[in-house]
Structure 1
Amino acid sequence: MTYDVARVRGLFPSLGDGWIHLDPQAGSQIPDSVASTVSKAFRALVSQPGGVYPAARQSQAVVDAARQAVADLVGGDPAGVVLGPSRGILLSTLAEALPPRLWLGSTAVVSRLDDEPNIIGWLRAADRYGARVRWAEVDIENGELPPWQYSDLLDDATAIVAVTAASSTIGTVTDVAAIGAAARAAGALFVVDATSAAPYTVLDIEAMGADVLVVSAERWGGPQVAALAFRDPGRIATLRSSGLSTSTSGPGRLEVDGLHHALLAGLAASVEHLASLDDAATGSRRDRLVTSIASLNGYLRRLTAYLAESLSHLDFVHMVGSAAERVPTVSFTVDGVAADKVARRLADNGICALVDQPSRALDVIGVGDVGGAVTIGLGQYSTPYEVDQLVRCLGSLG
């Protein structure tokens, strides 16, 4: 497998702005193929699906293509792909769609490592129906989410287990398969937020054991569109239909009315972009995705190791967490300098970074007590030169 980062960078016109973009958690840069697809679709897709005339059939074809693209990405079935404007809306819709009787006397298990979209919907539903909530805790020493704790958290009353596949702030990769096995043994619905893992790792909904997997396209270069993938599409029929849905069957039952078809066209184009990252990839789109993402993963593992090694030479900079398995995402603190001032120094030197990201994991670890944390992430287009510029700028703070 070969990964040609110079070729990949040429696919992103926005990189010509001269900035170093280390903020993919806020949205990856957009490849030209995706931007062109969305622009063309805005002009061409003017009708809703459902009609027999050409414009309606064209819109329906775009919806079908978007479902298939997500299915290829996660190794699932397009009949189980629910589309929506954001993961927060989709996960909240899922929580609302579960039968009320499921919540009576039950428990929902969520984790401190997760982003709010995979927490808040479950907390609200549990509060509404009087269900209990239990928390899986982060190891404050290394930032990992120990899977052994789930044997104590889960019991016959557990209805929901929600967990992230990877942290958006400290990069920790969770042992989803082990947690999923515990959820399955308890008979609970297992919901995995793969938003922060999807840009970097090959997803396989079967191997992960997830009943529902959520991804969000803006993290890998797509538009602001998200998707829920059900491992068993038939489960959708057991859920209450969204109050704004116009569909009576299939994934449309959980989709609010008014999906933007131009953005769905961009979603399919962004998955095709991912599949083309390694120009040696061949076969079906799923095959090409596996090859390309594995190639990207190998490149970014090396670059992340270089980043960690470089930061370790700055004794006043401290990385948060030291998980053995991580995506290329890092949060760090700087002795005696508040995080917002660090981010401003980086911006003054042409480097985009995030500061004080909302994170229960960072709160538990206690970064607020030392002035907050700066979060950076590497993307498809990141280079060793950009890492060097980051480290050089941080070095000036010492």
Structure 2
Amino acid sequence: MNNGLDVERIRKDFPVLSRELPGGRPLIYLDSGNSAQKPTQVVEVMREHMAMHYSNVGRAMHVLGAESTEAYEDARDKIAAFIGAPGRDEVVFTKNASEAINLVAYAFGNRTCEDPRFRLGPGDEIVISEMEHHSNIVPWQMLAQRTGATLRWFSVTDEGRLDLSNLAELVTERTKIVSIVHQSNVLGTVNPVAPVLARAREVGALMMLDASQSVPHQGVDVAALGVDFLAFTGHKVVGPSGIGVLWGRAELLEAMPPFMGGGEMIEAVWMDHSTYAPAPHKFEAGTPPIVEAIGLGAAVDYLTEIGMDAVASHERELTAHALGALGEIPDLRVIGPADLADRGGTVSFTLEGIHPHDVGQILDDNFGVAVRVGHHCARPLHLRFGIPATTRASFYLYNTPAEIDALVRGLHHVRKVFA
């Protein structure tokens, strides 16, 4: 591969990739869409902070408190720069992308929020899509149930693309928020943001992106995208679990009510009322995931040094190799785009007559190939294609063509087992 990425050097940063599985099988990890592995650089930053600098943040008036607070807020600066945000005040730390989306959904229809953009009730509409992860479906279902608003959605074409043929009829003057995935965790599809955003602006609606599958794999610039909110999770960005990010435009975050009450999200407290700190801190009640935030800062440092353009180019070549090789396996059906246009490094497929759970088990037991099987927290999308589950191989900066070849050999073996 000639994309400027030294994959063999990168693989040395990930100790788990050298692990030998029972039976002497090498680990072939093709499940980064589920959760990415962690480089030594991230592990060591977290270990060092926990061992030598740890204290609570924003509270203690001593050296450790100052060091911990500085490291925590430095991580916020790093993440803001990584996604092109104007500044740290637009970056809210959450525990994952699900919490970030729920935080935004909570603001709509909340009687304490006076901003008319967040007023939601019967007759108003929320628009999502059929390809969403459950994290970007269930919070909006709950909001609709809570307020009497109507939930609507974009359908998906047979090729696995967002169907925009009825965009003007779907996003109307009744729409208050459009929330769609940036890159599908099943199809690999990278959705077109510009036309949807343009229509949302025409009707005065806000727009949110679930970027959990795009931020780890391509350069994402919130200013260039132009949306109002964006969410992603740390454990898919070679960072730790337990940390996520909500980015929101500053004036919207200021208008939104706090999601949770507690320590450090306040300005002042009386027995009968409280006033709140400015964003982002008013959304970070209690002791935050300090070491995890610092680890996420180290993760974006690591990816920034490598370069997201190089990561995206490498994954594009892997995906091309995978689509070609999988296309030669009889009775294998790829669920999603068959070409590389607006597509990321996730390939989901079925083998006729063989349940994905059996596929995944045989790949793991016999070849050390780790893939994900099931509906991938996107059950409505699988229902759309008339299947209960798929096998998903998802690629990242540390994967190689040889690992994809091992997957293909394993799939040929699976077919022989069930012949």
Same-fold call, TM > 0.5? yes
Corresponding position of 2:8: 6
Task: Kindly indicate whether the alpha-carbon contact (under 8 Å) linking 1:154 and 1:186 is maintained by their aligned counterparts in 2.
Answer: yes
- State the Cα RMSD in Å: 1.4
The answer to whether structure 1 residue 362 and structure 2 residue 382 are counterparts is yes
1:146 CA displacement:
2.4
Using the alignment, how far apart are the partners of 2:167 and 2:61 within structure 1? 51
Using the alignment, how far apart are the partners of 1:327 and 1:51 within structure 2? 44
1:55-134 alignment runs, 5 A limit: 55-76=64-85, 77-100=87-110, 102-104=119-121, 105-134=123-152
Larger radius of gyration: 2
Using the alignment, how far apart are the partners of 2:180 and 2:246 within structure 1? 14
Using the alignment, how far apart are the partners of 2:42 and 2:144 within structure 1? 39
Corresponding position of 1:186: 203
1:219-298 alignment runs, 5 A limit: 219-224=236-241, 225-230=243-248, 232-245=249-262, 246-247=264-265, 248-277=277-306, 292-298=307-313
> What stretches of structure 1 move > 6 A for 4+ residues in a row?
none
- Give the partner amino acid of 1:228: L
Using the alignment, how far apart are the partners of 1:170 and 1:95 within structure 2? 25
Using the alignment, how far apart are the partners of 2:323 and 2:130 within structure 1? 24
The answer to whether structure 1 residue 156 and structure 2 residue 173 are counterparts is yes
Task: Kindly indicate whether the alpha-carbon contact (under 8 Å) linking 1:41 and 1:261 is maintained by their aligned counterparts in 2.
Answer: no
Using the alignment, how far apart are the partners of 1:99 and 1:59 within structure 2? 37
Please give the secondary structure, in 2, of the residue aligned with 1:100. coil
Q: Which has the higher mean CA deviation after the structures are superposed, 341-350 or 248-257? A: 248-257
Using the alignment, how far apart are the partners of 1:168 and 1:256 within structure 2? 30
Once the two structures are superposed, residues 187-218 of structure 1 have per-residue CA deviations (whole angstroms, 9 ceiling, x without a partner) of 11101011101111110112212100111111
1:242 CA displacement:
2.4
- Give the partner amino acid of 2:213: S
Please give the secondary structure, in 2, of the residue aligned with 1:214. strand
Count of equivalent residues: 379
Using the alignment, how far apart are the partners of 2:108 and 2:151 within structure 1? 16
Using the alignment, how far apart are the partners of 1:143 and 1:54 within structure 2? 54
TM normalised by structure 2 equals: 0.87
Please give the secondary structure, in 1, of the residue aligned with 2:166. helix
Greater fraction of residues in helix? 1
1:256 CA displacement:
3.3
Using the alignment, how far apart are the partners of 1:297 and 1:15 within structure 2? 20
Using the alignment, how far apart are the partners of 1:385 and 1:207 within structure 2? 36
Corresponding position of 1:322: 337
- Give the partner amino acid of 1:390: L
1:99 CA displacement:
4.7
Q: Which has the higher mean CA deviation after the structures are superposed, 98-107 or 377-386? A: 98-107
Using the alignment, how far apart are the partners of 1:366 and 1:57 within structure 2? 55
Corresponding position of 1:29: 37
Provide structure 1 residue ranges, at least 5 long, that are not aligned to the other structure. 278-291
Using the alignment, how far apart are the partners of 1:215 and 1:243 within structure 2? 20
Q: Which has the higher mean CA deviation after the structures are superposed, 16-25 or 143-152? A: 143-152
- CA 1:188/1:305 → structure 2, altered by over 3 Å: closer, same or farther? same
Using the alignment, how far apart are the partners of 2:237 and 2:110 within structure 1? 35
1:71 CA displacement:
0.9
Once the two structures are superposed, residues 36-91 of structure 1 have per-residue CA deviations (whole angstroms, 9 ceiling, x without a partner) of 11111222212232333222222221221121122112101211000011111121
Task: Kindly indicate whether the alpha-carbon contact (under 8 Å) linking 2:183 and 2:190 is maintained by their aligned counterparts in 1.
Answer: yes
Task: Kindly indicate whether the alpha-carbon contact (under 8 Å) linking 1:111 and 1:135 is maintained by their aligned counterparts in 2.
Answer: yes
Aligned identity (percent) is: 27
1:114 CA displacement:
1.2
TM normalised by structure 1 equals: 0.92
Provide structure 2 residue ranges, at least 5 long, that are not aligned to the other structure. 20-25, 112-118, 266-276
Please give the secondary structure, in 2, of the residue aligned with 1:222. coil
